[in-house]
């Protein structure tokens, strides 16, 4: 397969911007929920698809090692299978840059972030044999792919029957995006280097909403849970309100908004979809 696409991405859209308190909270919450769903999946072989610099790959490797250490205390030696965490990333530049950046940030040597394996590959053609993987994480990446539908079929192919897929994506049908479009209705749009927050940036090739995420995932996978993360991210009035409040009040409001997002995932800023491979007929 040959896909015409820029697969040598740099870090411009990979390192989350500092942003406001709502941005920082959103990135932490999205990562926390996605990793929690992956970590609770049974099995030992995990793929982080479109792993970028490998932050999540290393985090999963650290957690897998800690889990193995706990199990080694009670499991017989014959059952001690070492965990395997593999980051699959199309960009050689990201694979080379990531470990150095993370080691510098965490103040250690090259192995400081944790041991993980990295392979160059596309989501549309995952370089893994069928049925070999227990869990696949694809966080904040599916809307960058040339063919998201093919990618989901590939995820289903490499998962063992009952294996888990966790896909986290920005929701451009969120309440915040709807309010932003309403606020800007009828206004002439200035020429900006980046589109407004309620429209995908240039490197997002697909504009996903809650409904389109669910519809695309349903044919190859069985959806078990759809969880919303964060509410009102990017909406100017929300950001200004948070800036004027002390940290404790910010935290209360952000948790209340997140609670509403979990009740109404179609309104949420990010959708975390938890699915599994269907059993063979």
Q: Which pLDDT does position 219 carry in this prediction? A: 87
Which residue ranges form the domains of the chain, and what is each CATH number? Answer: 21-277 (3.40.50.150)
Judged by DSSP in three states, 253 sits in helix
Q: Dihedral sign, CA of 52, 56, 58, 60?
A: negative
Q: Which pLDDT does position 75 carry in this prediction? A: 59
Q: Which pLDDT does position 178 carry in this prediction? A: 97
Q: Which pLDDT does position 80 carry in this prediction? A: 54
Q: Which pLDDT does position 61 carry in this prediction? A: 86
Query: Phi, psi at residue 216, to the nearest 5°?
Result: -70, -35
Q: Which pLDDT does position 53 carry in this prediction? A: 86
Judged by DSSP in three states, 139 sits in strand
Interstrand relation of 221-229 and 270-277 (parallel, antiparallel or unpaired) = antiparallel
Q: Which pLDDT does position 166 carry in this prediction? A: 97
Q: Which pLDDT does position 103 carry in this prediction? A: 63
Q: Which pLDDT does position 8 carry in this prediction? A: 53
Which residues, 6 or more positions from 29, have their beta carbon under 8 angstroms from its beta carbon? 229, 230, 258, 270
Give, for all 281 residues of the chain, the pLDDT tens digit. Answer: 444 454 555 555 444 455 688 999 999 999 999 999 998 887 789 999 999 988 899 889 888 877 777 766 665 554 556 678 999 999 888 888 777 766 655 544 444 445 688 999 999 999 999 999 999 999 999 999 999 999 999 999 999 999 999 999 999 999 999 999 999 887 776 666 678 899 998 888 999 999 999 999 998 999 999 999 999 999 999 999 999 999 999 999 999 999 999 999 999 999 999 999 987 65
Cα 200-26-244 angle, rounded to 5 deg: 105
Q: Which pLDDT does position 18 carry in this prediction? A: 56
- What is each CA distance from 166 to 98, 156, 180, 217, in whole angstroms? 22, 11, 28, 11
Residue pair 158/136 in contact (Cβ under 8 Å)? The answer is: yes
């Amino acid at each position: 397969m040959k896909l015409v696409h820029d697969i040598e991405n740099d870090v411009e859209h990979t390192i989350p911007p500092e942003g406001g308190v709502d941005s920082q909270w959103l990135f932490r919450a999205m990562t926390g929920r996605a990793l929690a769903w992956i970590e609770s999946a049974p099995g030992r072989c995990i793929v982080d698809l479109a792993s970028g610099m490998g932050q999540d790959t290393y985090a999963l490797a650290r957690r897998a090692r800690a889990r193995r250490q706990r199990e080694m205390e009670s499991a017989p030696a014959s059952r001690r299978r070492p965990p395997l965490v593999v980051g699959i990333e199309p960009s050689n530049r990201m694979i080379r840059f990531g470990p150095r950046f993370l080691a510098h940030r965490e103040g250690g040597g090259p192995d400081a972030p944790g041991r993980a394996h990295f392979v160059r590959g596309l989501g549309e053609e995952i370089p893994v044999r069928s049925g070999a993987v227990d869990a696949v994480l694809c966080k904040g990446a599916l809307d960058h792919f040339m063919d998201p539908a093919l990618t989901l079929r590939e995820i289903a192919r490499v998962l063992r029957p009952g294996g888990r897929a966790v896909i986290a994506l920005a929701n451009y049908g969120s309440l915040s995006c709807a309010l932003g479009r309403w606020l800007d209705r009828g206004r002439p749009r200035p020429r900006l280097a980046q589109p407004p927050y309620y429209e995908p940036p240039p490197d997002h090739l697909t504009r996903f909403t809650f409904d389109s995420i669910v519809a695309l995932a349903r044919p190859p996978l069985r959806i078990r849970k759809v969880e919303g993360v964060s509410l009102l991210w990017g909406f100017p009035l929300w950001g200004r309100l948070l800036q004027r409040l002390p940290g404790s009040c910010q935290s209360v409001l952000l948790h209340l908004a997140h609670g509403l997002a979990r009740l109404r995932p179609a309104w949420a800023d990010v959708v975390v979809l938890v699915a599994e491979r269907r059993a063979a007929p």
